[in-house]
Amino acid sequence: MPRRRSVLTTLLIVLPWTILLTIWHQNPATRYLTILRKETYENSTAKSLQILINVTQIKEEQHTACAHQQESTPAQQTARRYVYSRPPGWSRWLPTIYVITPTYTRPVQKAELTRLANTFLHVPNLHWIVVEDSPRRTNLVDSLLERSGLNFTHLNVESPKSVRIGLAKDSSHTPRGTLQRNLGLRWLRENLILSDSLEGVVYFADDDNTYSLELFEEMRSTQKVSVWPVAFVGGLRYEAPKLNAAGKVVGWKTVFDPNRPFAIDMAGFAINVRLVLKRPRANFQLNGVKGGYQETSLLKDLVTIAELEPKAANCTKVLVWHTRTEKPTLVNEGRQGFTDLKVEV
């Protein structure tokens, strides 16, 4: 009996240590968390107490430490180290934000995508799906995405000429970007596997809008579909969902057609990616969509108004602006062009 016990004990000791040694041996590049201490306590004792934890998946950490003092402690100062990188390291704990951006070639395209990328570079766990309205993926967008350092997917689908030029029957409101957004949704459905552990949010971000960093943190917790106010839409300073006292969406604070099922702009909602995968038929309607109803054409197949989750402090803060960029005047280019076309603008 005692013999069996000592065998068992030896096994229980040897096994985990060998596994640990194997892991540490296999990951020489593994970074270990070190505990930061207050300057006054920087001594070898701290170093000898490093806890070794494998953090290969997480590139940057910010550690706080509080030194435990035996004498009376003054303020509980935390030592912080900002490890800065572009973009912030991928984290296993944050739901991924899939941002779908339709884009098309025009003079200001590179500028728009540049400043958009500059914003996205601050957002952790962001996956940018850029869908060009073009027959082929262009070099301009390709190299911009590569150089940015962002996590991205580069797609393209060409809209029929009528849509692009704006000669559709419904010339009052040609749904631009529809095919591209639908392709983005299709990519998600083909490349992600629906499971309970899949966490993510889908957001449609046009390339000329302005996004605050807070917006992305607000949408991360979306369970089904979340909504918030958007500035400069509907001929107003902002449009916003109408909430009741219980914090549920009951209507829409808009002047233009407030009786639409979802009187909200493309930039005013986000969808949980699981919901997108669960409803594979839900897409933006391409033809026969009345002006202002494009968002509805998708959302009606995903959610009811009662299920909407209001964000941005119960829809009282504006975190996204529907800005539009002027078309630059290029009169002085003349017929033959003055500037060198090989220089990319």
Partner 1 sequence: MPKRRDILAIVLIVLPWTLLITVWHQNAIAPLLAIRKASHHLIKELFIMPERLGVRWHQLADDGSDARRDAGQGPDSKEYCSSDKDIVEVVRTEYVYTRPPPWSDALPTIHVITPTYSRPVQKAELTRLANTFLHVTNLHWILVEDSQRRTALVTRLLHETGLNYTHLNVETPRNYKLRGDMRDPRIPRGTMQRNLALRWLRETCNVNQSQPAIVYFADDDNTYSLEVFEEMRSTRKVSVWPVAFVGGLRYESPKVNAAGKVYGWKTVFDPHRPFAIDMAGFAVNLRLILFKPQAYFKLRGVKGGYQESSLLRELVTLNDLEPKAANCTKILVWHTRTEKPVLVNEGKKGFTDPNLEI
- d(CA 345, CA 342) in angstroms, rounded, equals 9
Q: Out of 42, 73, 171, 250, name the contact with partner 1 by CB under 8 A.
A: 73
Task: Pick the closer one to partner 1 by CB: 302 or 309.
Answer: 309
Of 174 and 283, which CB lies nearer to partner 1 in the complex structure?
174
∠ at Cα 198 (312, 279), nearest 5°?
A: 80
From the number of C-beta atoms within 10 Å of its C-beta (0-12, 13-18, 19+), residue 59 rates as middle
295 is catalytic: yes
The piece of 117-125, 135-143, 242-250, 266-274 that touches partner 1 (CB under 8 A) is: 117-125
Positions in 20-59 near partner 1 (CB under 8 A) = 20, 23, 35, 37, 41, 45-46, 49, 51-58
Binding segment for partner 1 (CB under 8 A), chosen from 166-174, 278-286, 291-299, 337-345, is 337-345
Residue 160: count other Cβ atoms within 10 Å of its Cβ.
11
The angle subtended at Cα 115 by Cα 110 and Cα 116, nearest 5°, is 95
Cis peptide before 87 (omega within 30 of 0): yes
Residues whose CB falls within 8 Å of the CB of residue 329, separated by 6 or more in sequence, listed in order: none
Q: Which helix (H) or strand (E) holds 155?
A: strand 151-156
Q: Which is nearer to partner 1, 167 or 255 (CB)?
A: 255
**What DSSP element (H or E) covers 189?**
helix 178-191
Residues in contact with partner 1, shown as a per-residue x/- string from 209 to 228 under the rule CB under 8 A = -xxxx---x--xx-------
Q: Shortest Cβ distance from residue 184 to partner 1 (Å)?
A: 23
Give the x/- contact pattern for partner 1 in 163-202, rule: CB under 8 A: --------------------------------x-x-----
Site for partner 1 in 291-330 (CB under 8 A): 316-318, 321-326, 328-330
How many chain residues are in contact with partner 1, going by CB under 8 A? 103
7: helix, strand or coil? helix
Q: Which residues are catalytic?
A: 295
